[in-house]
Structure 1
């Protein structure tokens, strides 16, 4: 476990896919259906895992590049993918162990919690409801919320503002280089989880959270409660 951060945060924001939820199976299913519709051999889950983190447009462009197909197909395929995925976003997805309890503990401690994801906001909310996160959340900002997409810092800053917090008092949790770059651009401390879709060895976060059971202690909450 990484050491305790130097100050207790006033808000905590999470990435979704690869950070709170392993969603690759449902993403792969929706993508496979669209690729078959286009007459393209679908990607394996392992191939899809390597494309996660850039939102639906990045996913479809990456899939077409892997199959050496015309990128001009990406726009209509992205629309079809979003429709198919929104219809069944949490059939095979699962929360990472301890993630729901960790978020509940933050909310119980009076720390506002948000989600900043490149997934469409309505689909993100459906996943969060299905897996038990929704009651603990104060804000959800998606890639279609009007603030751009990560690594642009604007969606993260919008989420923080919606929670009534400021960047220097916020911690962001993610699993991917996109998340680290977003947090750095926003002036936000960032923790990385090693069980998601990014290459943890290539990241330089402020700390690494290997287990959600350790999150409260890492954020200084357990220390504060003992005083």
Structure 2
């Protein structure tokens, strides 16, 4: 029986894409740049701010000074508009309520910066419900390294083998597997386009297509 559940944030627990899409579109209009397709923006959400801004300047590499300048601009705008259209994926609130009713702690392990993550959780009123939060600032090595997973487990006073990790990116599954957690691939999330066709190759223990399936699978693992 598993004793805790950890989630990736963007594309797994929270559907944040609409805010990213709106902000990238806004920045493109400000700069007179071509506006990327919404699907292209959504696919980059899990890749971080540099990848998002590279959609605005696809001709620049990730270390270019211009790209880095607009990366900070993007982050500044996002901080002010972090929860405009963002919400939990449909069915996620009942899942969290089920975990809390069963006294199963849940938490978040994300590569999103802590100041943005905390603001998002505060806006969604999840900050006091989340039992553990691990962000890049808390570790030397981020996902797919298992260090953040072990830190979350230690914070919960649990063995990593007692924990489920849910994510929508190969690095999520790799991090969970590297820490000997039970891994669930959230195939409803922001999957990398070049890796959608062979989800079994990701190595997840379980694959779910929606939150309802996730709810059922987690319920099995904690009972």
Q: TM-score, normalised by structure 2?
A: 0.83
Hey, what's the Cα distance between the residues in 2 that align with 1:143 and 1:31?
Answer: 23
Gaps of 5+ in 1: 1-7
- RMSD of aligned C-alpha atoms? 2.5
Partner in structure 2 of residue 212 of structure 1: 211
Q: Who is 2:59 aligned against?
A: 68
Q: Any residues of structure 2 matched to 1:1-227 within 5 Å, and which? A: 8-36=1-29, 39-61=32-54, 63=55, 67-71=58-62, 72=64, 73-198=66-191, 199=196, 201-202=198-199, 203-215=202-214, 217-220=216-219, 224=223
Asked if the contact 2:35/2:56 (under 8 Å) is kept, the reply is: no
Q: Is the 8 A contact 2:12 2:168 kept in 1?
A: yes
| 1:192/1:200 contact within 8 Å kept | no
Tell me how far apart the structure 2 counterparts of residues 147 and 181 of structure 1 sit (CA, whole Å).
17
1:12 & 1:123 partners in 2: Cα distance? 22
| Shift in Å, 1:207 | 0.8
Is the 8 Å Cα contact of residues 23 and 92 (structure 1) preserved in structure 2? yes
Q: Which runs of 5+ in 2 are unaligned?
A: none
1:204 Cα shift?
A: 2.9
> Taking CA–CA contacts closer than 8 Å with sequence separation of 6 or more, which of the two structures ends up with the larger relative contact order?
1
Q: Give the distance between the partners of 1:18 and 1:218, measured in 2 at CA.
A: 18
Pick closer, same or farther for the CA change 1:207–1:68 going to 2, 3 Å.
same
**CA distance in structure 2 between the aligned counterparts of 1:37 and 1:155, rounded to whole angstroms:** 37
The two structures have a TM-score, normalised by structure 1, of 0.82
Q: Secondary structure at the match of 2:53?
A: helix
Shift, 1:17, TM fit? 0.9
Contact 2:161–2:180 under 8 Å retained in 1: yes
What SS does the aligned partner of 1:47 have?
Answer: helix
- Aligned positions, number: 215
